[in-house]
């Protein structure tokens, strides 16, 4: 079963992180809701969608779902807007308010309960998230826990510079240095500003040992793994990830995965692109757990090209679909 947690982080609307549309409006306010709808086949009106480059991961995941028929579930955790599709609500405030310890412990507990129940009906959980700002938040979480994250996203200046700025601000206010939250992992989770991580960690912790758990995606999932290990949760975890073009980043991710006792699997070592420069497979663009979705499809006997072709077909359908907001939604 594929489970995607939708949310919005405290850092998702920072300028320069790529979630502002061409008119300078705040795309995070509808990004995750619209993306979840696309993934489940409810194409929203074009005028209400973020830029096409930002919704391609949802079309990709939708293509894999249609090719394989794997069961899928959407969970909402602290997003600005609710998607107009069935979903499980984990509660929480909008990201304009800081995360609270009580709220995150509640989300984790509800995630544990959900993981226990899902483990009764499936022997495999592929967990992903779609949260603007999740990479930045996870870098802060990893730094607080003392994980070696300096090289991660070093090739994405907007993210690495914001991380250093936010960490300096946090240190100046608290006196906490790198690794200073090893004994207080909940504080590190709050620092991430990401309401999806507690839910993902809870689902993984609650799933029975007979159920395989794969973390689908890049940095956010390393953050989930680090948080679980800091909580002394030793269950087996897999991580499906796209290989980085940067060897330093690649080596550091492998080392971090090994230190966290997470089974590390690179997916799709060859190059692929969708619509030329609109989307290139890389470690900075793995939203919606694309690497894990692709691995899931491959394990079910569906080829990479079949998923890509279905994604191209969906992209054409989406582009050709133009309707006023009052028109009934098209199913994809």
User: What is the domain-level CATH number for residue 220?
Assistant: 3.40.50.10210
pTM across the whole model: 0.90
User: Which residue is associated with the tokens 């599709």?
Assistant: 85
At 275, the pLDDT band (50, 70, 90 cuts) reads low
More confident: 204 or 246:
204
Q: Does the pLDDT of residue 289 top 60, yes or no?
A: yes
At 114, the pLDDT band (50, 70, 90 cuts) reads very high
Range with the poorest average pLDDT among 101-105, 166-170, 230-234, 248-252: 248-252
Q: Residue 158: its pLDDT value, please?
A: 74
Q: Enumerate residues 6+ apart whose C-beta is below 8 A from 84.
A: 33, 37, 42, 44, 329
Count: domains in the chain? 1
Q: Residue 234: its pLDDT value, please?
A: 92
Contact call for residues 200 and 219 (beta carbons, < 8 A): no
Strand partners, 76: 6, 89
Q: Which of 47, 15, 27, 70 is nearest to 287 (CA)?
A: 27
User: Which residue is associated with the tokens 């992180």?
Assistant: 17
Q: Which of 219, 247, 57 is nearest to 153 (CA)?
A: 219
Q: Which of 34-38, 196-200, 239-243, 318-322 has the highest mean pLDDT?
A: 196-200
Reading across the β-sheet that carries 262-266, which strands appear in turn?
Answer: 88-89, 72-76, 2-6, 124-130, 212-216, 237-241, 262-266
Calpha distance 53→277 (Å, rounded): 9
Structural tokens at position 246? 């940067």
Calpha distance 51→30 (Å, rounded): 11
Range with the poorest average pLDDT among 29-38, 294-303, 308-317: 29-38
More confident: 31 or 164:
164
Q: Residue 184: its pLDDT value, please?
A: 95
At 269, the pLDDT band (50, 70, 90 cuts) reads low
SS (H, E, C) the chain: CEEEEECCCCCCCCCCCCCECCCCCECHHHHHHHHHHHHCCEECCHHHCCCHHHHHHHHHHHHHHHHHCCCEEEEECCCCCCCCCCCEECCCCCCCCCCCHHHHHHHHHHHHHHHHHHCCCCCEEEEEEECCCHHHHHHHHHHHCCCCCCCCCCCCHHHHHHHHHHHHHHHHHHCCCCCCCCCCHHHHHHHHCCCHHHHHHHHHHHCCCCCEEEEECCHHHHHHHHHHHHCCCCCCEEEEECCCCCHHHHHHHHHHHHHCCEEEEECCCCCCEECCCCEECCHHHCHHHHHHHHHHHHHCCCCHHHHHHHHHHHHHHHHHCCCCCCCCCEEC
Q: Residue 49: its pLDDT value, please?
A: 73
At 326, the pLDDT band (50, 70, 90 cuts) reads very low
User: How far is the first Cα of the chain from the last one, in angstroms, to the nearest whole number?
Assistant: 20
* Digit-coded pLDDT (tens) for 31-65: 888 889 999 998 877 666 767 777 888 999 999 99
Residues of the domain holding 44: 2-331
At 168, the pLDDT band (50, 70, 90 cuts) reads very high
Mean pLDDT for 25-36 is: 72
**Sign, Cα dihedral of 243, 308, 5, 52:** positive
Mean pLDDT for 307-315 is: 91
Q: Which of 124, 106, 295 is nearest to 207 (CA)?
A: 124
Q: Residue 310: its pLDDT value, please?
A: 94
- State the Rg of the chain over Cα: 18
Q: Does the pLDDT of residue 320 top 80, yes or no?
A: no
At 328, the pLDDT band (50, 70, 90 cuts) reads very low
Query: What is the rounded (10 degree) CA torsion for 158, 159, 161, 165?
Result: 120
């Amino acid at each position: 079963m594929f489970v995607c947690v939708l949310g919005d982080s405290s850092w998702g609307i920072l300028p320069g992180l790529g979630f502002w549309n061409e008119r300078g409006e705040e795309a995070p306010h509808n990004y995750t809701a619209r993306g979840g709808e696309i993934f489940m086949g409810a194409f929203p009106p074009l005028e209400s969608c973020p830029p096409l480059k930002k919704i391609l991961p949802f079309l990709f995941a939708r293509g894999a779902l249609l090719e394989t028929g794997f069961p899928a579930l959407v969970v909402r955790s602290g997003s600005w807007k609710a998607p107009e599709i069935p979903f499980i609500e984990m509660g929480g405030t909008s990201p304009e308010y800081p995360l609270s310890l009580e709220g995150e412990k509640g989300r984790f507990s509800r995630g544990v309960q959900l993981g226990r129940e899902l483990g009764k009906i499936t022997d495999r959980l592929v967990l992903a998230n779609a949260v603007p700002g999740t990479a930045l938040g996870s870098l802060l979480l990893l730094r607080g826990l003392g994980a070696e994250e300096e090289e991660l996203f070093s090739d994405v200046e907007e993210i690495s510079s914001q991380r250093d700025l936010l960490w300096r601000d946090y240190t100046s206010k608290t006196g906490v240095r790198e690794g200073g939250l090893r004994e207080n992992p909940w504080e590190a989770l709050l620092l991430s500003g990401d309401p999806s991580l507690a839910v993902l960690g809870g689902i993984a912790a609650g799933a029975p040992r007979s159920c395989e758990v794969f973390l689908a995606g890049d940095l956010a999932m390393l953050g989930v793994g680090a948080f679980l290990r800091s909580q002394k949760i030793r269950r087996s975890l897999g991580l499906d990830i796209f290989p980085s073009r940067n060897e330093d980043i690649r080596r550091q991710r492998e080392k971090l995965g090994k230190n966290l006792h997470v089974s590390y699997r690179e997916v799709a070592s060859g190059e692929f692109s969708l619509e030329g420069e609109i989307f290139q497979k890389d470690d900075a663009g793995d939203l919606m757990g694309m690497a894990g979705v692709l691995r899931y499809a491959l394990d079910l006997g569906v080829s990479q090209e079949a998923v890509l072709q279905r994604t191209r077909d969906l992209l054409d359908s989406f582009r050709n679909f133009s309707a006023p907001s009052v028109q009934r939604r098209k199913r994809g």
